[in-house]
Structure 1
Amino acid sequence: MDLHVTTLAERPEYAARLYQMKDLWPEFLMYDPVGWANIGRIVVEFPEYVLVATDGSGPDAPLVARALSVPFQLQAAGRGELPDTGWDQVLLWAFSDLRHGRTPDTVSAIEITVDNSALGQGLSGRMLAEMRANARRLGFSELVAPVRPNAKHLEPEASIHEYAFRTRASDGLPHDPWLRVHVRAGGRVEKVAPASMTVSGSVEQWRRWTGAAFDTDGPVHVERALVPVHCDTRGGYAVYVEPNVWVRHRTD
């Protein structure tokens, strides 16, 4: 692969193709209202924080990966710590800071996505390195990431507080593969964000999103969900609260 990584600010013609890639994100995550309202704004308002990776450098080179991040002011009044509400919160902080003219002091990763056709070639790790380098180029000493541990869905009943810090006996690296990539890149697993993303909907919506029955009260296991979805058949709704894991990277 002839990989070329640039910012969307440098290659704005890729904006229309950014979400045409085939990926593995579960459909239900697309209905997190914070993400729904804000993810598209990153492309428009923070193009220098959007990385595009193409196989080749020509105008028709296929897009094989994207990486989105946002700047925000972690040390603003009332903040100071990475939030328990993780991914959702940094999106809200970033656009609030932009609106109020606050000077950002930190960059947060939002997503790294690799096209299904390019999986298994180490592109996730390469895009993480490029995201760190981009944050450094923009003058930031730190990149934080509300990481979605990519093997947690295999253990939906496991405590995220245990899972996040579980390590391998062989080398002391994280048990989870995506957390392992971050730590190998120099990141430090800092804390759990227990309510990083929240998706709520009617039981009918959840049936459409997942194909699951949603006909009993209590926890429902859904494919690729990190924890069970809580279902209330009498109320006619279900709620998913996804935990993520905060990882902190130095960019220098």
Structure 2
Amino acid sequence: MSTHPAAPDGLTVTTLAERPELVGPLWAMPDNWPVFVPHDPVGALLMHRVRDELPEYVLVATDAEGAVVARGFSVPFALRAEGRGQLPDRGWDQVLTWAFADRAAGLAPDTVSAIEITIVPGMQGKGLSGRMLAAMRDNARARGFREVVAPVRPSAKHLEPATPMSAYAYRVRESDGLPADPWLRVHVRAGAVIDKVAPASMTVSGSLEQWRTWTGLAFDTAGPVEVPGALVPVRCEPEGGYAVYVEPNVWMRHAL
């Protein structure tokens, strides 16, 4: 049975466990992620394991013709395990690590974390991200969980990389008091609250030559480099021959 039955527009959202034949199209789905993001070592190591080992936590949306138009990855983990209790400052990287460490240790999960919701180019701005978020919440609730958390990558933050995330995340619209950022606003409209900023949610390091290849930029001057798609500047260290991107995210909590 589908997680969300077909809507009037023909969109159907199911888990990958229910539609394993969609694993190829889901994995090959085009997206707009910045070119450097797949070089986060934690994601490179563990995202395929979410696909392969936790298909019941992977959502896939198909249109009326059966084409994959969106995907959503989530993971169960033990937030309240000994030594934890708080959402981690290392955000996305840490929660992925915890999820698979917990599986290896046989630790019972108590929380589900969103990991990714991606919409194919051309379908963005049509409310599909909100529908995928709703399906992710419903899927977690159906599996007995009482909370979904999300290390959110604000969708418009890349337009102002110099603004501290601690200021950006809490900016609201005068008209309705909702977050100024569109993706944070979707979460709040779904019932989420901001917990805190995860200052080091994802880390991508590489040689200067790697960063030049990824971005087409010179990377020849010490200090911050603004890179298209990056939420904050990349730190360039020419004397050391490397550059590092440390991405902040915003932890959102959804009570179910």
Counterpart residue type for residue 19 of structure 1? W
Superposed CA deviations along residues 9-44 of structure 1, whole A, max 9, x for unmatched, are 000011111122221100100000000000000011
CA drift of 1:169 comes to: 1.1
Give structure 1 stretches of 5+ with no counterpart.
Answer: none
Q: TM-score, normalised by structure 2?
A: 0.95
Query: Cα RMSD between the aligned structures?
Result: 0.8
Which residue of 1 is the match for residue 235 of structure 2?
230
Which ranges in structure 2 are unaligned for 5 or more consecutive residues?
A: 1-8
Whole-angstrom distance in 1 between the partners of 2:51 and 2:233: 32
**Are 1:117 and 2:105 counterparts?**
no
Task: Determine if the alignment matches structure 1 residue 8 to structure 2 residue 16.
Answer: yes
The 2-side partners of 1:94 and 1:213 are apart by 38
**1:150 equivalent among 142, 155, 158:** 155
Q: Distance in 2 between matches of 1:159 and 1:52?
A: 34
| Separation of aligned partners in 1, 2:45 and 2:68 | 24
Residue 44 of structure 2 is aligned with which of 36, 43, 63? Answer: 36
1:199-220 deviation per Cα after TM superposition (whole angstroms, max 9, x unaligned): 0000000011111110101000
Residue number among 208, 213, 217 corresponding to 1:212 in the alignment = 217
Q: Which runs of 4+ in 1 moved over 2 A?
A: none
The alignment covers a number of residue pairs equal to 248
Report SS of the residue matched to 1:116: coil
Aligned equivalents of 1:51, 1:154: Cα separation in 2: 29
Could you tell me which of 181, 184, 194 is aligned with 2:186? 181
Q: CA deviation at 1:190?
A: 1.0
Report sequence identity in percent.
Answer: 66
Separation in 1 of the partners of 2:229 and 2:120?
A: 17
Q: Does 1:192 align with 2:197?
A: yes
Within-5 A mapping of 1:18-37: 18-37=26-45
What residue identity is the alignment partner of 2:40? D
Aligned counterpart in structure 2 of residue 159 of structure 1, from 160, 164, 169: 164
1:169 matched to 2:174? The reply is yes
Scaled by the length of structure 1, the TM-score of the pair is 0.97
Distance across 2 between alignment mates of 1:51 and 1:122: 16
C-alpha separation in 2, matches of 1:205 and 1:18: 27
One-letter code aligned to 1:115? V
What secondary structure is seen at the aligned counterpart in 2 of 1:118? Answer: coil
**Separation in structure 1 between the aligned mates of residue 247 and residue 172 of structure 2, nearest angstrom:** 21
